[in-house]
Amino acid sequence: MNDAPREQWASRMGFVLAAVGSAVGLGNMWRFPYFAAENGGAAFVFLYLLMVALVGLPIMLAEFAIGRGSKKSPIQALEYFGGPAWKPLGVLFVLGGFLILSYYAVVAGWTLRYAWQAVVAGFGGDLGAFFGQAASGPDAVGWHIAFMLVTVTIVAGGIRGGIERSAVILMPLLFFIVVGLAIFAATLPGAGAGYAFYLKMDFSAILSFRVLTEATSQAFFSLSLGMGAMLTYSSYLSRDDNMPRESVIIAGSDFLIAFLAGLMVFPLIFALGLAGDVSEDQIGALFIALPGAFGEMGAVGRPVGILFFFALLVGALTSAISLLEVVVSAIIDNWSWPRRRAALVMGVLITLAGIPSALNTNVLGVVDQIAGNLILAVGALSLAIFVGWVMPDPIGEVRKGAEGVRWLPVWRAFLRYAVPPLLTVILYFSVRSTIGMIRGLFGG
């Protein structure tokens, strides 16, 4: 066992900003806008919000109850409240963090490369070819390594000195940039067409299980749920804060940034008549169409491009930090390693595991589907059952610091009776599309 006293956040604000930092990332500013545009526009946004309220918030509160209640990293926390039979779920969380970070850092590496390009030269020429070069092969591997180096350095710095400090500085900055760019985008001539593309209402999507599944997976991914990230962060809480209120703040900020990202991205693209690029290749869409817009905009294109990729990078970094922290905290607690060694060794292993994704975007897509969709859905379903049926007194735990909140019994009943059947249906569709995708990869 590790004898050092458990680290703690310095302030409530620090915890909230770090949790928002975990939630806000590539999922918001890159995945959400084009998911919405492709899956029914306003209908998707509506279903997404519904799923955030129905399953996202209850699961986030469930993770907080386990984390703060046990003050332990995932594997030991689940054992603490549920006995050794629940340890494998903790192992799945750690594996999830490991796998998600392996490809997340690859896309973050592209972002780093683009941010660099925005600063040193700006965008121009054949951006499809530029993306092809940046997104696979040696370039992608190199920038992936560079991004992981930054992530490891911050996590090695500890909860207060590394994670909290970076979140407190970076998250307000990100927020102002996104709001500023969304306002700027609203002044562009193509704004109306951009909003229409983003939010046109497709009523049939509301009744589609496929869209519902997409919205649910996106909610878990965007809120960092189902793999113990929020559990781990809340395990460093010292005081008994009002966790229901904090989960609403975190989920609200996460949605706000995702929604604003759409309001900034599509007007930019439509103002410059590059909409055709968006629909071509999902993964690359924004990395081709947006720089195209920055390149065409003349003098303002340069600063706008720098700000956009900087914000994207900040979001990716604070999320990657939380992914690595899940793995590192488990290693510290289970093997008694010092934090620095855990961060370094795990960082190297995750970097290596990401190399296939850096070399081939199809591999990246499959790992995303398995870890980013499937593991999170399995994890969230198990968490609902765990806190609903197994954990001794989750309501009592959440009530500390939230004495006035009346609906906690409703929350628990929800975790017991509503969330599991709903997520079982979602999981069924998710497994089906995973199998389809793996078949596709092998050309079957």
CB of 234 to ligand PHE, least distance (A): 14
Residue 22 lies near ligand PHE (rule: CB under 6 A): yes
Q: Pick from 156, 250, 323, 426 the residue near ligand PHE by CB under 6 A.
A: 323
Q: What x-and-dash track marks residues 286-315 binding ligand PHE by CB under 6 A? A: ------------------------------
Q: Pick from 14, 21, 27, 262 the residue near ligand PHE by CB under 6 A.
A: 27
CB of 18 to ligand PHE, least distance (A): 11
State which residue, 60 or 307, has the beta carbon closest to ligand PHE.
60
CB 186 within 8 A of CB 374: no
Q: Pick from 94, 99, 100, 141 the residue near ligand PHE by CB under 6 A.
A: 100
Please give the distance of CA 10 from its chain centroid, rounded to a whole number.
24
CB of 27 to ligand PHE, least distance (A): 2
State which residue, 216 or 412, has the beta carbon closest to ligand PHE.
216
CB of 29 to ligand PHE, least distance (A): 8
CB of 48 to ligand PHE, least distance (A): 13
CB of 430 to ligand PHE, least distance (A): 15
Residue 221 lies near ligand PHE (rule: CB under 6 A): yes
- Cα-flanking dihedrals φ and ψ of residue 238, to 5°? -100, -50
State which residue, 90 or 401, has the beta carbon closest to ligand PHE.
90
The span of 35-43, 131-139, 149-157, 319-327 binding ligand PHE (CB under 6 A) equals 319-327
The span of 26-34, 163-171, 266-274, 394-402 binding ligand PHE (CB under 6 A) equals 26-34
Tokens, residue 423: 């997520």
State which residue, 190 or 372, has the beta carbon closest to ligand PHE.
372
The span of 21-29, 45-53, 361-369, 404-412 binding ligand PHE (CB under 6 A) equals 21-29
Residue 151 lies near ligand PHE (rule: CB under 6 A): no
Q: Which residues contact 428 (CB under 8 A, 6 or more apart)?
A: none
**Which residues of the shown chain bind ligand PHE in the complex (CB under 6 A)?**
22-23, 25-28, 100, 221-222, 224, 227, 229, 319, 322-323
